[in-house]
Structure 1
């Protein structure tokens, strides 16, 4: 086989385990043999539409088996897959499609209004609505079921993933087939993924963690991916019990909502072998909630640009090192450095740098951003603040840009948020720095209260004063119904800053 990339996986898996279930979606199951057939048909249709090696194919919509099929089919042809955040507005999608120069767009019904509003739609060679996807796929000529074998090298670009874009335009992080493979190797080792794994894909697949940390490793190992269209607490409980889910990934907001459910105490969660989280520092109180239930909660750290796994806390250390993001994965190097790029001492906060075969080659059509992202020696600058303990375990402190200075002291909001989360009346919390005439900056906490619980701002401040230095305790507490989040579940602090000024 000339295809050395991800596009060769469906054919290889169909040879190895043709009758195993690859995907479950909406009560429909697909075996690896069926996935290979469908991917080949989609690849034939894309080729008929002019897609060749290096061309970009975009997907816009919630989680669906068509997402995975379109991705693999694009890679069969040596093309570049561009998953888009379906929660974005038309101008944002317009920018991304134009920036990457996509030839084909596959979209879900929920996104029809956005697609109709695209000013750059005429630049696309073809637009495929998911309502028409099955008939479109079926038109792939049966003779095309002989393997399509386009030469693809491991260093060829496989994905363009647009970053959240908290400041300015989003950047398109490029990930090569080699990046994805090395990340898969790291996950197979860190989680010890089994061939009988049943993985719940509950986070959005346009996000690097759901795609690269769960679906691809499960597929490579021949396990079953149970795909949820979108996160829903009750549906999550139902699918775990129905399919015997063994592994799932989520971000803090998802796991917090899951544990708050009235079903938490009585649900049968005995099938779960591993719960995995990342994307932001996880409050230790939340981790302990799962551990007290007898569940293994593993935390990792990484970024879109690192495919994403950079460090991982394996199951055996999940209790002893609760709150840590672990140690570097087997095939990557991680440092914590001072501003002069000298290594920080144990316990000293510094910026996280990552080096390894999982690290992006750069940003699509943006050599300036690519150059700025790397320090000498090919070390990727994460922009995250962390500490290392004496044993080399990483503890995420916060994003460099989220830190604020109050009275000359550095305050890392993630530390304050973790303390707020300890209060039994708090469901979610986010802290930002706001201008202050006396201290330069002070904290403002945005808090979502648990249903049926009440707490005042003053009570919360008194609670924090017993746990944090006074300068870290937010001066202002604002109670809200919900926190603004990105499509991947991360809290949008830029919107909170706008809210604090209104």
Structure 2
């Protein structure tokens, strides 16, 4: 039976529950649900929320590590026209309080480990009317009791595809996070448009390990539901959890590049486990060229795919497909491995001068603008902030600097706010970082601009050295000068044990600047 074209995020779940009710849908730890069981749970969430007074336009929230209850809450809220705000569980107490008050959540589902943190700020959450505790194993918790007592309902007839169904908060790398409002239409468009390279086949299992508070988790979990193949959800993306899921049959994965580095360094056993994968999609941060080459050599049979995108466009905007990875050097275009690929279907990309706002010639750098049905409706409660990044013509201003070559390949050069200007020259930190990554003693690196009396700014490199290998500041600077114009090279190098990262693996250059200042 041909699956119908979806309009709402739960449409395909309902379809598979109808045509394959006893088939495996989702596994989490020791628990597995069939399509019919998981669909019933989603409908019970919808009924339970309605009984608690939640309706169209309202917001509920989830605070915990990865858990199927988060997916159920998102889909169930969507059935009645409400939205789920998924909160970063690693935030400090006052940050969690800010987020919950910002979204105005009426119902809050919280993991057992985080209950004490919520209790500490309970008096500061005037909108929250009900808190439901959820445990990892689902035994005797308030959430399961509430679910069992709820009456399942179908979609509210007043719900529209343009209703917000999920609120994800921006990473906050430049200040207080903002709630990104994403609709049913956004998610359906994303799932359909970015499907190339993720074509699941009978017998496949999708591994959902990215945090669900990140668009890479909440968007990716919909792929298995869309294609009707089982998903395995891990609580965290640690080595043991990933290996266990792979041994359970998971063979499709999306994670940050750093995972591959850890696997390669772990030795033959880890490499052998990962060889069972059919595909590994990476994104959320750049893949250093030495690591990409090592991964392609280590696992020549695995399909590698890079994706570039943002929360504000519901996830993927461009992709570098598996065949494009393999053919880059054979076709005489090794530089394409440094690109973010080409626009996915339905996504328009243009490069715009940051001052004149005119489109620049092919190959010239500028700000990356995106237009698609995937573009968010806006930042929750912040119309003025929304107007700064979404034009009247529907273009989303990404804040990323990049360029497009004659064949449509997009190269992301830098964050607009991270660009270094030294003596009037623009320096894109990824260009310097790519050279640094080639140094035999460099494991990880990051580049920022620091004040300089003569040049305005100069380049400072932060470097994590490989175990048992040494390098001095002079070594690193000289290595860069052999391959880059001198004005682009670091004038200082700081060696660290580890680079500061947010929970999704992005390097926090804000923290590096703060440490300098």
- Give the alignment's TM-score, normalised by structure 1: 0.94
**2:68–2:233: 8 Å Cα contact kept in structure 1?**
yes
State yes or no: 1:126 paired with 2:130.
yes
Superposed displacement of residue 414, structure 1 = 1.4
**1:311–1:326: 8 Å Cα contact kept in structure 2?**
yes
State yes or no: 1:481 paired with 2:500.
no
Residues 17 and 323 of structure 1, relative CA distance in 2, 3 Å threshold: farther
DSSP-derived class of the 2:490 partner: coil
**2:134–2:142: 8 Å Cα contact kept in structure 1?**
no
2:264 maps to 259
Distance 2:183 2:66 in 1: 22
Superposed displacement of residue 239, structure 1 = 2.5
Distance 2:212 2:108 in 1: 16
Q: What's the CA shift string for 1:14-55, capped at 9, x where partnerless?
A: 113222222221132222112112222222222221111111
DSSP-derived class of the 2:272 partner: coil
Match among 412, 419, 425 for residue 396 of structure 1: 412
Distance 1:99 1:274 in 2: 38
Distance 1:432 1:490 in 2: 14
Superposed displacement of residue 288, structure 1 = 1.4
1:381 maps to 397
Aligned length: 498
2:106 maps to 103
Please give the root-mean-square deviation of Cα atoms over the aligned residues, in Å: 2.1
2:331 maps to none
**2:133–2:142: 8 Å Cα contact kept in structure 1?**
no
Distance 2:52 2:316 in 1: 35
List aligned pairs for 1:243-322, cutoff 5 A. 243-263=248-268, 266-293=271-298, 294=300, 295-319=302-326, 320=328, 321-322=336-337
Distance 2:440 2:209 in 1: 26
Superposed displacement of residue 375, structure 1 = 3.2
Distance 1:229 1:112 in 2: 17
1:93 maps to 96
1:468 maps to 484
DSSP-derived class of the 1:137 partner: helix
Q: What's the CA shift string for 1:319-373, capped at 9, x where partnerless?
A: 3131211111111111112232322223211110000101111111111011111
1:162 maps to 169
Residues 354 and 438 of structure 1, relative CA distance in 2, 3 Å threshold: same
Distance 2:393 2:187 in 1: 21
Structure 2: gaps of 5 or more residues: 329-335
Superposed displacement of residue 105, structure 1 = 0.8
**1:58–1:82: 8 Å Cα contact kept in structure 2?**
yes
Superposed displacement of residue 495, structure 1 = 0.8
DSSP-derived class of the 2:195 partner: helix
1:233 maps to 239
Q: What's the CA shift string for 1:216-252, capped at 9, x where partnerless?
A: 1111111122111112124323422x12322111123
Moved more, 135-144 or 283-292: 135-144
Moved more, 68-77 or 164-173: 164-173
1:431 maps to 447
Q: What's the CA shift string for 1:302-326, capped at 9, x where partnerless?
A: 1110011111111111231312111
Distance 1:338 1:444 in 2: 27
Q: What's the CA shift string for 1:265-307, capped at 9, x where partnerless?
A: 7514343222112223322222211111213221111111001
Distance 1:476 1:263 in 2: 37
Match among 369, 386, 406 for residue 385 of structure 2: 369
Distance 2:112 2:149 in 1: 28
Distance 1:266 1:258 in 2: 6
Superposed displacement of residue 427, structure 1 = 2.0
Match among 350, 364, 371 for residue 348 of structure 1: 364
**2:44–2:153: 8 Å Cα contact kept in structure 1?**
no
Superposed displacement of residue 141, structure 1 = 5.9
Residues 195 and 386 of structure 1, relative CA distance in 2, 3 Å threshold: farther
Residues 275 and 79 of structure 1, relative CA distance in 2, 3 Å threshold: same
Superposed displacement of residue 394, structure 1 = 0.4
DSSP-derived class of the 1:155 partner: coil
Distance 2:485 2:250 in 1: 42
Distance 1:177 1:415 in 2: 38
List aligned pairs for 1:24-173, cutoff 5 A. 24-118=27-121, 119-131=123-135, 134-140=141-147, 144-145=151-152, 147=154, 149-173=156-180
1:499 maps to 515
State yes or no: 1:326 paired with 2:332.
no
2:437 maps to 421
Q: What's the CA shift string for 1:155-194, capped at 9, x where partnerless?
A: 1111111112233322111111000000000222342233
